[in-house]
Structure 1
Amino acid sequence: MAKKFSALVESTMSHEAIDRAKQRTQVLRDEMPLNELRQARGLSQKALAAVLHVEQPAIAKMERRTDMYISTLRSHIEAMGGALEIVAKFPEGSVKIKSFGATELA
């Protein structure tokens, strides 16, 4: 009979190793490229392109870019159902930047 993966992990991994794996998983969830974020949201490039009123190749190109306008990134994130926040981090603490106005989706 097959064993559950969780039971297998608990029987073969130490609690410290399980904790390290959970921490690493959280880091990977907290930081991901746009294409992985889109996929995690269950969206295809074609579906996102339809929301943004562009062609699918434009989404592929946008996801490969290393530099883009904040308004472009904001539109992309909002089309996935999210909200973009810009935060500056300093040793003394973080500051949310409010200089960038939100865009309206058509």
Structure 2
Amino acid sequence: MAKKFSELEAKMPAAARARSDTKFHDLLAEMPLHELRRARGLTQKALAEVLHVEQPAIAKLERRADMYISSLRAHIEAMGGKLEIIARFPEGAVKIQNFTTLETIQA
């Protein structure tokens, strides 16, 4: 008989649970667009409706390794998020502000 994950997790040593939690949060911090969309509970069709495009356009965008920042921003905002571009250097991180939306510039 299958056991609930919560039961198995309760039997894990504290160190193993800590490693598991760390790995879980690491995986949540980085994911491809299609996994992010699924994690947000959206289908390609639903996202396409928000973006006023056809579903195949969403599938194509999610497979791309290279895209316009404006396309990525629209995709992220359609999922309810906000895109930020961060440059990381040994001395620290810098948020790049060149990629603001027209609404932000005109406000």
Report if TM-score (shorter chain) is over 0.5.
yes
Matched residue SS, 1:95: strand
RMSD across aligned C-alpha pairs, in angstroms?
1.6
Q: CA deviation at 1:103?
A: 5.5
Q: CA deviation at 1:5?
A: 3.2
Q: Residue 28 of structure 1 aligns with which residue? A: 27
Q: CA deviation at 1:10?
A: 2.2
Q: CA deviation at 1:3?
A: 6.4
Q: CA deviation at 1:101?
A: 1.8
Q: CA deviation at 1:66?
A: 0.3
Q: What is the 5 A alignment of 1:10-49?
A: 10-11=10-11, 13-49=12-48
- TM-score calculated relative to the size of structure 2: 0.88
Q: What is the alpha-carbon distance in structure 2 between the residues aligned to residue 54 and residue 3 of structure 1?
A: 43
Q: Residue 67 of structure 1 aligns with which residue? A: 66
Per-residue CA distance 1:6-34 (angstroms, 9 max, x = gap):
233222x2111110000000011000000
- Taking a change above 3 Å as real, the CA distance of residues 85 and 65 of structure 1, as seen in their structure-2 partners, is same
Greater relative contact order (Cα 8 A, min sep 6): structure 1 or 2?
Answer: 1
- TM-score calculated relative to the size of structure 1: 0.89
Q: CA deviation at 1:61?
A: 0.3
Identity of aligned residues (%): 66
Counting matched residue pairs gives 102
Gaps of 5+ in 2: none
- Taking a change above 3 Å as real, the CA distance of residues 103 and 79 of structure 1, as seen in their structure-2 partners, is farther
- Taking a change above 3 Å as real, the CA distance of residues 3 and 32 of structure 1, as seen in their structure-2 partners, is closer
Q: Residue 88 of structure 1 aligns with which residue? A: 87
